Every structure is written in C-alpha cells, then in structure tokens.
Structure 1
Amino acid sequence: MMPVLMLGAAAPVALAAADVPASPTIPAPDAPELAAPGTLPVGTTTVELVQPAQLDPLRSADRAVLADRRLTVRLWYPAAASGPAMTYSTPLPGEDGKDVLFTVPGIASDRSAPATGHFPLVILAHGYSNSPEVLAWLGENLASKGYIVAAPAFRDPPISIRTEAARAVPLARRPLDIAFVASEAARLAKRGEGAFAAADVSRTALIGYSMGGYGVLTAAGAPLDPAMAARTRGALAPYVQGAARADALKVPHLKAVVAIAPAGGSPALTPWTAPGVAAITAPTLYIAGNQDRAVGYDPGVRTLFTQQAHAPRYLLTLREAGHSIALTGAPPEARGRFWDYEWFEDAVWRKDRLLAVQAHFITAFLDRTVKGDETRAAYMDGLIVDSNDGKWPDAPSGRYAGYSPGAPAATLWKGFQPNKAMAMSLEFKPAS
C-alpha cells in the first residue's frame, strides 16, 4: 500500500496593505547581514503524507495497536512569482491542555506556483507540542534563498500531559517521521509531483529544534539505545542499535545538520548508545542558550558538541538565553497569560534579535555545506570565539549601519554592525 499525497493549505487572511503587521521573517535594521530574506518569491502549501500501519505508542500498552500515520507537512519553496502574503493560523496547547489559536504574519503566498529549477531539500522539525508555523520565519527565509523546506506537523499530545504514554509519542515519532518525510520527498521528487518536483534530494539538510533536535540527530546517524524500545512502548524496538532495522532511520544524501537547543545531551534524556552523536559525520551547527533549563547546556547541548568527534561542527552560544530561542515572537493571542507567553519569549534577549542572529548563521552554514558556496566561510571562520572581543579599527564612528568585512581588516565577525555582535560565542571543532 503506497502512502497517499493530498494537497491543501490554510486559507490566507486577507489584509489591506496598511493593516499588515510586521512579519517575523523581516528582520530589524540591526540584524546581521545574512538574516534578510533572499531575492526569490516564496510560496507555501501543505501536503498530507500517509504511512500505513504504524504502532501507536499512545494506545499500545499490553498489545500493539496499529494505525495509519497521517502527517500534514507545511512546505515553503521558491515560487514562480510573488503573490499576496498570508497569515498563518495555528494552535499551541494551553496550560489546561486545550488549544490556544494564534496567528503569525508571513511573507509567503499561499499555493503559488513553484519556480522551475532544482533546490536543496531542508526538513525542518519543530519541538514538543509546537507546530511548523512557529518556525515560519526560518522556513520562509530559507525558501527565499533557494531551498525547499518541508516541516511536518507531528501532532504531539499536549505537553501538559505528563503520562508515560504521552511522552513516548514524540520520542518515537520524531526520528520515524523525519526519515519517512525524507523518503517520501525523494519518491515525489522522482515522480515530479507538486513543489517536491524541484527538490534536489541529493543535497539534503536537517534542522530541528528541541525535541526536533533529538529527531534530526537520530536521523543523522546517532544510534538509538536499546532502552528506547521500552521508553517508546515498542515503537522504536525495530530501530534500536542491533535490531533488524537499525539503519533505516538514517537519512541519505545528508549534507548538513542544524540542531537548535536539541534534547538528548543532558542526563534527563540519554537516547543514544555508543558512539552516540560521534557516529554523525555530516557537518553540524549547534545553537543554544547557556541558560537553557529544558535540555541543558553543560551538560546538555555543549556535551553533544564535544562528543561529536567525527564531524566538523560549530557551537553558537547565545549567552543568558534560555530554551525558547527558535519560536517566533509571542503573537497577540499569546500575550495575556504567562503559560502562553512563555512558549515564545526569552527572559533576556529580544526575540527579533534571536531570530535574526540564527537566520544569519544558518544561512552561512547551509550555503557553505549544502550549496558549496565557500564565500560563506568568512562569516563562520573568524579570528575570535567571543563576539565581545571583536575589533574593527577602521569602522566609521557614530551610528554606522555598515557590516564588518571580517578578517583580515577586522576581528569583529563578518556581517555584524559595530556594537551589535554582543554576548555570543562561536566555537568550531574539526572532525578528528
């Protein structure tokens, strides 16, 4: 039985030009150079992918319960022409477990015709109880720069449900769904269907936030500990190290991985067995706040960066930032209650600043590793680790908005304005 493909999308909200709120995809004037969207128009749509007869960890206890797994995948892609910008509408679970609907203004046009060409594929995995639309700022940004971005909606149980069965669902389905979407993208690209027709799956990248970070690191090759079979109520039993399908989760043609505040590095969750993330050979960019209380920093994300010995990797640390670094800024509907607001905002950093810095470095990293653009190396490989140490001796004085040229004229990171590269560090370790 073949998986089913269905086209569809949320209807755009029509707004008069004067009433359109600022999209989080459009950075503020103090954003680093590569944060701005590219030159290509952006389209978006959704597809439904169906994987038959999947074990349901939420309902499987004494006996296995099988059900078709239906994934709605949000696509962002280079479009043939510009169209009306849409507003996304999507829910997140409230404190009582009930959905809170909110809206996010975008720059993409709903169901625009895809551009012709071949564009690298990016699979974008959201966090526990999140949705693809909270990462629209990144999906749209990358599509405008010549990537096709596929973001599955994983349909986790509400994060407020603390049962063993509820926690088993994201642990089981993240790597399974990511591998399935990669496989389906390859099949549909070969058949020339929809927006996938322009996807070049020989150049694939994975990006994951939080629980999605655990998913992409697993799909990049980190072997699952046999204990994960029980923790997922049997759903991952065929895929743990030593099992019959242990290699089936690894995404082929992988050129790069971006793990934003990924779960899996702290003692609270140890999903992998030796060699763990050291089994990953694709270049990797880790992004984390050093005050992350959800997945940990050290131990936590820094632990993974240190352990991934067989791949070139970067660690971008946003000092004093917490866990909610990747979600869009709090929309109006989420500003009335602490629980809802806490999904989105950081205690210290401006959210638009967090998103802009990440878009800048993710662009440089993917352009270099996936597209082979070595001019982007200058944005990643500087003379300093700590942004506060950067110097630009010949920078014009005053409120100058130009960007640092980087080495050798300046040690200030390339692409940052004077006084705007603060409270960050960027570390690099080569493959051993």
Structure 2
Amino acid sequence: MRKLVLSLALLAVALPAAADWVVGDARPDAPALAARGAYQVGVRTELLLHRGQVDILRATAANPAPRYDRALTVEVWYPAQLAPGEREAVLYTDVLGAGANNPARPNTPFTFAGRAARGAAALKGAFPLLIVSHGYPGSRLQMSYLTENLASKGYVVVAIDHLESTRADKAGFASTLLNRPLDDQFVLDAVAGWSQPGSGHFLAGAADAGNTALLGYSMGGYGALVAAGAAVDLAALKPLGVTDTTAFVARAPDPRIHAVVAFAPWGGARQLSSGASLAQVRVPLLFVAGEQDTIAGYEDGVLRLAREAVNAPRYLLAYQNARHNVSPNPPPAASYANREDFSAYAESAWDSARINNINQHVVTAFLEQTLRQRDMGRHLAPDSELSPARIGPGLTWRHWPAAAEKAD
C-alpha cells in the first residue's frame, strides 16, 4: 500500500498542472487556429498485427517473397467524455536513438507530459479519421503537439509505430519504402472495423473512416502520397538498394482518403514518383517544408512534388532557412546529452514551439476545409495569417488550384 501511495504521489508531481506549459500549448504569438478546440481529449494505445506481409529484408534469390506478421503499435487520440476526477494529463514514454545496438546513439527512454486523459471514454459521433505516419526513424509520439490538438477539435487521430522504422528498431530502408503505404491502408481498414456499431471496440460509433486524411512526416509523407495514388517508379528503387521490386505493386487509392498533409515528404528529389504518377493524385494536398531541407530537398524535392501533382488542389507552407525538422515536437530534455539526438528534433534557425503552433493553425484550416467542407478561405488565402504582413517574416505560402500549371 505504501508503494502504491508513493507511486501515485510521484505521478501527481510529474503530471502537468493546468498552468504548466506542455508540448503543443499555444504561445502568446500563436496564430488563431493553434488554440485547442472545445473537446476534451482521451488517449489509448492499441496493438495491431498485419499478417502475411512480404518480409523484404529477408528476401533471397531462393525465397524472394518470404512472409511475416507486422506488429504495429498505434496511439489513438479522440474526443472524450471525462469521468469525475479524470483530467487531461498524461505522461508519454518514448525513446531516443537510431535503431537498436547503436553505440553512437543508444536507445534512451524518456518521458514527457501531454494533455490527454489515458483511457477516457470516447464520445460517440462521426468524427473524421486522421492517420499519422512518422519519419525514418521516428515514433508515433513525435508529433503529439499536433495529434492532441486535432483530437481536441473533433478528430480521431491514430499514429502508427511502423515496424523496422522506429528509433527503437530501425532496420533496412527497403522495409520503410515498401511498407509505409501498406501500413497506412491496413490501419485505415482496422479503424473502419473498430468504428462499426456493435464492434465492442471503444471507438465503436466514434470514428468516420469514410472521411479520412493521411498525415505524414518525411518517409511518412512519402507513404501518404503513395497511398493517395502516387505510384512508385520501380526504376528509382534500384539506386536505393532494392534489387527485387516485385512487392511494390501499384494500387488504386482508397476512396475513403480525402486529403493528405505531407511534412517534408521524402522521395521527390529521388524521382520516386514521376510527374505522370503525381498527376494521378486528386485529393487536396498540404505540403509543409523547410526551404533549406538537405534530406528531402526543397526545389528538386518538396516543391517539385507540389508543382507536379497538377490534378490536386495544393498548398505549400515553406519555412525560410529551415531544414528537415519542420514537423516534430521540440527536442526533449533527454536529447541534450547527444548532439545527434538533439539534431533529430531541432531547427537551428527556428524555435520548434513556434513551428508547432504555425503547423497547428495551417493543418486545422486545411482539414476543416477538406474534411468538413467549411469555408476556411480567410485562413488559407495569400493575405491570411500566414502572410509576412500578418505573421511576420520567414514564411512562404503558395496555392495551386487543381490542374494549374504554375504557382500564384
């Protein structure tokens, strides 16, 4: 009993009070839509098993398509009904590093606070579904500033830990190239089943999987675009070490996917999708990038993707002088002990909390317009809060209507 009381006391000390700053809170200079919404937020962790998938990392000439089961951990944030005594205060546990057994960047667990109630009851309602995909390597928790914020605005948000692509289990790149869009599709199907009335799942009657957006960072952005119809050019895979491309089967996009948010999507500079393939994407797209991105590329990377997806309405928010880390949470305190771990989160020319607030604003406006058909023109127009005259210098904001040939 004394141990239980002590544990609860320590937890109470660690969890944030309402007045404490938490990752994702709106700063005084945040744009209008960065503020949390009207819904209380619950969070739960779920385990999924995608059976019988091609194990590309263990393929051989004698056995070119071995199969395995892909275990996927997902974090689910959702509009909630809190019971008396419950509050929106949670500790998340994540890990630093770049794969197991890496002496330069050992896996180091760390905790950080959030604003969600672990295990709270879900509200019933047709809340649009958002599927979130991390970078390589990354984690399902690396964009909690955004996932919690969007759940508070009436979305069910499901973030995936992609097997062989997290900071804990990073493995060969071919797995990430093959499995990102497949994992997204599998999770969409799983949540569609959970949300059916009578399923017995806590999301029964809560999520509308027929009204889904994909949100992805770096390799997550690549996977989201592929899932939305941008087929992979098989010839472009060979320089990346993929010698057998038979598992990369082009699939028609799922009609339940109505929008994509791609943060620093990788692959444009590598020509992974041709212009003709990008032209097959027809759902609205929001790109967020750093103009000095040396990983995904900007002029030949993200900007190229935005320009060549000509049959989709597109928006591009570019952070001037920023590089690749325009999507994650701010660097956790534990990362200060290792330069590489810190650099995996930080932007040298930008404050990460400032980036987080701007992302919350623009993603909210984009999703409200595309998934809820609300007129958000005043937030998405060239002279909106994102213009230098309103928000200050440092941003480039562009819009291409569907089938346009050049930017405004």
TM-score by structure 1 length?
0.82
Distance in 2 between the 1:17 and 1:89 partners? 13
Contact kept? 1:229, 1:235, Cα under 8 Å: no
| Structure 1 counterpart of 2:41 | 42
Question: What aligned pairs does 1:169-184 form with structure 2 within 5 A after superposition?
Answer: 169-184=175-190
3-state DSSP class of the match of 2:203? Answer: helix
- Post-superposition shift, 1:173? 1.1
Distance in 1 between the 2:9 and 2:380 partners? 37
| Structure 2 counterpart of 1:426 | 397
Distance in 2 between the 1:333 and 1:238 partners? 39
Counterpart of 1:70 in structure 2: which amino acid? A
- Post-superposition shift, 1:15? 2.9
| Structure 2 counterpart of 1:153 | 161
Alignment CA distance shift 1:54-1:288 (3 Å): same
- Post-superposition shift, 1:337? 1.5
Alignment CA distance shift 1:194-1:325 (3 Å): same
* 1:33 has 2:32 as partner: yes
Distance in 2 between the 1:184 and 1:343 partners? 31
- Post-superposition shift, 1:167? 1.1
Unaligned runs of 5+ in 1: 1-10, 391-411, 413-419
- Post-superposition shift, 1:251? 2.7
- Post-superposition shift, 1:280? 0.6
Alignment CA distance shift 1:107-1:19 (3 Å): closer
* 1:189 has 2:195 as partner: yes
Alignment CA distance shift 1:255-1:123 (3 Å): same
| Structure 2 counterpart of 1:127 | 135
Unaligned runs of 5+ in 2: 1-7, 404-408
- Post-superposition shift, 1:159? 7.4
Alignment CA distance shift 1:358-1:84 (3 Å): closer
- Post-superposition shift, 1:226? 2.8
| Structure 1 counterpart of 2:95 | 91
- Post-superposition shift, 1:49? 1.4
Percent identity of equivalent pairs: 34
Deviates more, 1:40-49 or 1:16-25: 16-25
Deviations 1:195-241 (A, max 9, x none): 25311112111110000000000001111223377668588624434
Contact kept? 1:305, 1:313, Cα under 8 Å: yes
| Structure 2 counterpart of 1:260 | 263
Distance in 2 between the 1:351 and 1:194 partners? 34
Aligned length in residues: 382
Tell me the C-alpha RMSD between the 2 structures: 2.6
Distance in 2 between the 1:314 and 1:12 partners? 47
| Structure 2 counterpart of 1:395 | none
Deviations 1:250-285 (A, max 9, x none): 23222211101000111xx33224512211100111
* 1:211 has 2:219 as partner: yes
Contact kept? 1:385, 1:427, Cα under 8 Å: no
* 1:104 has 2:112 as partner: yes
- Post-superposition shift, 1:170? 0.8
Alignment CA distance shift 1:116-1:318 (3 Å): same
Question: What aligned pairs does 1:338-357 form with structure 2 within 5 A after superposition?
Answer: 338-357=339-358
Distance in 2 between the 1:255 and 1:13 partners? 44
Alignment CA distance shift 1:12-1:382 (3 Å): farther
Deviations 1:348-406 (A, max 9, x none): 001100000011000001011101111x2210013489833x2xxxxxxxxxxxxxxxx
- Post-superposition shift, 1:111? 0.9
3-state DSSP class of the match of 1:310? Answer: coil
Contact kept? 1:228, 1:240, Cα under 8 Å: no
Deviations 1:138-190 (A, max 9, x none): 1100000000011110033577999xx71111111111101111111112222
